[in-house]
Amino acid sequence: MNLCVLGAQWGDEGKGKIVDLLTPHFNVVARYQGGHNAGHTVYVGGRKFVLHLIPSGILHPGVICLIGNGVVVDPRALFAEVDELAGMGFDVRGRLFVSDKAHLILPYHRELDILSEARRGDRKIGTTSRGIGPAYEDKIGRRGVRVGDLRDTSADGPLVGAIRENVDARNRLVGNSEMKWQDVLADLRTAWVRLEPFVTDVSLYLSRAMAAGQRVMFEGAQGTLLDIDHGTYPYVTSSNAIAGGACTGLGIGPKTIGAVLGVTKAYTTRVGEGPLPTELLGEMGERLRESGQEYGASTGRPRRCGWYDAVAVRYAVRINGLDALALTKLDVLDGIEALDICTGYRCGTDVLTEMPGDTAQLALCEPIYETLPGWREPTRGITRYMDLNANARAYVRRLEEVTGVPAAIVSTGSERDHTIIRDDSVAAAWFR
C-alpha cells in the first residue's frame, strides 16, 4: 500500500525521522511540494543529517527518491545537498530524479523574497528568505522557468525570453542595483550540465513503478496549518502541504494514495508569524523549547511552543483524511507535572470545536484546556507501548480520543530506534 506522510500541525513535526523509519518498507519516496525551506533532521547511528530538498529516503541505499513538479528547485541548493551527501558517503546517482515540470528558484526570487518581507513591515510572514514564495508567484503568474526549459537555451527560445523579462522586472523593482540576464542564463547553462542526468517525467516514473508493484511513499513538507489554501492564511507557505498536494505535485491519481499518516508532536510549535492559540510565552514555553531543541533546522530560528492543540489536529485529520498519527517527541514532556490539551477555543462569547477559517478570528481565540497528570519516569528511548508509564499511556490515549485517530507510531527520541510501532494499529501493515 502506498502511503502519504505529512505534517499535521505547523511543520517541524519530525516528519524526517518518520519518513526515514518507514523508508526501508518502500521502493520509492516522492516529495511533492515546498522547496529547500524545509529542514528534515534525521539521526542515524549518532550522525546528524539535515535534508532540505532531497527526500530523506536517500539515506537508504536502493531507494529511489523523486522531486515532483510541485516542488520549487534551487539548483545551487540541490547540488549543495548532493555534494554534502556525497561527502558523507551517499551516492545519489541513479537514485535521485527531478521532475522536468518543477519550477526553478532563480537568484532574483531570493532578492524579491527579502524585499517583499521588508515591505510588509509588521505584517511580515516570517519566510525563510530562500525565494520559495516568489518562485511560486511566477509559476502561478505563468512566467516561471521550469527545469525542462533549460534544455533549450537558444537566443530565441522561451527560456531566454522568460529570463529577460523576469530580470527586467526585477531591475525595475530593486532600484539600486542591476542584474544581468546574461549572467543568470550563463549560470543556468552551467547548472543544466549537472542537472540533466537527474531530470525525468516523475508522473510517468511513478505510474510505471506502481504498475510494477513497487510501494511509494509520498512525502509532504511543512504542515497542514501552513498550507496555502487551508492553513492560517496569509501566514502560510506558498504550496499545498496537505495530502491533496501529492496528486497535483506529482501527477498521480487520488486513488493511488493508499493511506495518509499525519505527523504531530506531543505538543505544538510554530516558526514565523501568525496565530498559535496554545502558545506558551512564559517558563513552560521556554522549557519545551529547550528540552525539545525547538530551533529551526533550516534557519536556526527559535520556534514558538505551546500545548497540544487538538482542534488544529482534528482539522488536519479532516483536511487530509488522516488514517493515523505518528506522535513524536513524547519524551520532551518527561518530568512536566501537568499537561494541558486544547480541546476547543473560546472566541468572544462563542465556544468553537472546529478550526475557524478566518485567521483574524483564530488570532482572537483562547484555548479551552483539559489537564492531565504528567509523569516522572522517562519515556525516552522506549520501544514498546506497554513499557510507557501509565500517565504517558493515558496522555496518548486521550490524544487519540480528542483527535479521533489512532497514534499508530509514537516516537520517544530522535534516533531511528527510539520508536514505538503499535502492532495493533494500521501502522503494522506499513512495516511489513
Piece of 35-43, 69-77, 129-137, 201-209 that binds ligand GDP (CB under 6 A): 35-43
Chain positions 288 to 307 lying near ligand GDP, rule: CB under 6 A, are 297
Of 3, 33, 37, 40, the one binding ligand GDP (CB under 6 A) is 40
Task: Based on the shown chain and the rule CB under 6 A, indicate whether residue 328 belongs to the binding site for ligand GDP.
Answer: yes
Grid coordinates belonging to 194: 549537472
Task: Based on the shown chain and the rule CB under 6 A, indicate whether residue 331 belongs to the binding site for ligand GDP.
Answer: yes
Smallest distance from the beta carbon of 366 to ligand GDP, in angstroms?
27
Piece of 40-48, 115-123, 202-210, 224-232 that binds ligand GDP (CB under 6 A): 40-48
Smallest distance from the beta carbon of 296 to ligand GDP, in angstroms?
7
Smallest distance from the beta carbon of 23 to ligand GDP, in angstroms?
13
Task: Based on the shown chain and the rule CB under 6 A, indicate whether residue 17 belongs to the binding site for ligand GDP.
Answer: yes
- Measured in degrees and rounded to the nearest 5, phi and psi for residue 115 equal -60, -45
Q: Using an 8 Å Cβ cutoff, are 335 and 342 in contact?
A: no
Of 95, 103, 110, 329, the one binding ligand GDP (CB under 6 A) is 329
Residue in the structure block whose three cell numbers are 494500521: 426
Closest CA to 359 of 136, 123, 183: 123
Smallest distance from the beta carbon of 313 to ligand GDP, in angstroms?
15
The answer for residues whose C-beta is within 8 angstroms of residue 172's C-beta and 6 or more apart is none
CA–CA separation, 370 and 56 (whole Å):
36
Of 43, 192, 233, 385, the one binding ligand GDP (CB under 6 A) is 43
Task: Based on the shown chain and the rule CB under 6 A, indicate whether residue 16 belongs to the binding site for ligand GDP.
Answer: yes
- Measured in degrees and rounded to the nearest 5, phi and psi for residue 223 equal -155, 170
Smallest distance from the beta carbon of 222 to ligand GDP, in angstroms?
8
Task: Based on the shown chain and the rule CB under 6 A, indicate whether residue 35 belongs to the binding site for ligand GDP.
Answer: no
Piece of 90-98, 204-212, 273-281, 410-418 that binds ligand GDP (CB under 6 A): 410-418
Complex with ligand GDP: residue 60 or 120, whichever CB lies closer: 60
The single residue of 12, 74, 138, 340 carrying the catalytic annotation is 12
Which amino acid appears at position 132 of this protein?
I
Coarse DSSP helix, strand, coil percentages of the chain, rounded to the nearest 5 percent: 40, 20, 40
Of 2, 6, 9, 15, the one binding ligand GDP (CB under 6 A) is 15
Task: Based on the shown chain and the rule CB under 6 A, indicate whether residue 411 belongs to the binding site for ligand GDP.
Answer: yes
Of 4, 288, 332, 382, the one binding ligand GDP (CB under 6 A) is 332
CA–CA separation, 114 and 107 (whole Å):
12
The single residue of 40, 103, 109, 230 carrying the catalytic annotation is 40
Residue in the structure block whose three cell numbers are 525570453: 161
Long-range contacts (CB closer than 8 Å, 24 or more residues apart) made by 108-117? 108/134, 108/166, 108/167, 108/170, 108/179, 108/184, 109/134, 109/135, 109/138, 110/134, 111/170, 111/174, 111/179, 112/170, 112/173, 112/174, 115/173, 115/174
CA–CA separation, 338 and 373 (whole Å):
5
Query: Does the annotation mark 230 as catalytic?
Result: no
Piece of 32-40, 104-112, 273-281, 401-409 that binds ligand GDP (CB under 6 A): 32-40
Q: Using an 8 Å Cβ cutoff, are 13 and 7 in contact?
A: yes
Query: Does the annotation mark 358 as catalytic?
Result: no
Task: Based on the shown chain and the rule CB under 6 A, indicate whether residue 412 belongs to the binding site for ligand GDP.
Answer: yes
Complex with ligand GDP: residue 224 or 343, whichever CB lies closer: 224
Task: Based on the shown chain and the rule CB under 6 A, indicate whether residue 414 belongs to the binding site for ligand GDP.
Answer: yes
Q: How far is CA 335 from CA 309, 370, 395, in A?
A: 20, 18, 14
The answer for residues whose C-beta is within 8 angstroms of residue 71's C-beta and 6 or more apart is 31, 32, 33, 34, 35, 53, 99, 102, 249
Catalytic machinery residues: 12, 40
Residues of the shown chain interacting with ligand GDP in the complex, contacts defined by CB under 6 A: 7, 12-17, 38-41, 43, 297, 328-329, 331-332, 411-414
